[in-house]
Amino acid sequence: MPTRLLILSFLFTPFFINAAALMKVAVLDYDLDSGEDEPGLDYLVEAAAQIDIELELIPLPEARAHRLVQSGELDGEAFPYEIPTRDSSHMIKIDVPIESSSLWIWVPRDQNCVNDPNQLSNFKPVGLNGIPYFDIFYQLSEMGFEKVSTPHIMVEMLRRGRADYFPATKRSIEFLLDETDQALIKPCFNEPFITITSYFYLNEKHHAIADLFQQELAEVVSLHPDDDDD
């Protein structure tokens, strides 16, 4: 082939032949704080790039994100917590822990703590709308439960005696509550009540790359310090 034709052939070859595949991923933010760094997303993007996949990250409430990934309208979900009530049908769990969150029990500062964690079923929790890990405590309670829209209102519910406690990490208390609200509550017990872990999920249509994605993500995560939320 003449040199000129070879050059023209190269210039007009469709650019997308070597372009990375695009995957749309729902991103969940449990701390409701857009200003906080999310290293897990950096790990995910880096792992995807290793297998020539570009991620489009789409912030969504978990209920909607979960529905869209299960139906295949979105490709993945980052990073729901693994809890007993979670329905993962039509989804593939990438079995690399991203973040572990230790949930403490918070009560009004002037209230006595429960002596035994096993007695927690006798108290009413309050949680945030749209965050599934509160379901653990709703199901535990024999006294009913309350759902509200903001962390500040959770503190108000405790102050007014309309709920007895709420579960939260210590880091989320620092990020989401001002000093006035923090002064009104205290953690109970000498350790977290439960620790939950988040993972990345793919829609089942991506089963062909799931093992490779898991391998790459595990390698990326191993290069970074643990990102645990106490």
CATH code, domain carrying 73: 3.40.190.10
Same domain as 109, residue 34: no
pLDDT at 84: 87
Across residues 6-32, what is the average pLDDT?
Answer: 58
Domain presence at residue 11: no
Q: In the predicted model, what is the mean pLDDT of the chain?
A: 88
Across residues 96-101, what is the average pLDDT?
Answer: 92
Tell me how many domains the chain contains.
2
What range does the domain containing 143 cover?
101-194
Domain presence at residue 14: no
Same domain as 200, residue 184: no
pTM for the model stands at 0.80
Domain presence at residue 228: no
Q: Is the pLDDT of residue 80 over 60?
A: yes
What percent of the chain is modeled with pLDDT above 90? 74
What percent of the chain is modeled with pLDDT above 70? 85
Across residues 104-117, what is the average pLDDT?
Answer: 93
Quote the tokens at residue 109.
Answer: 């500062």
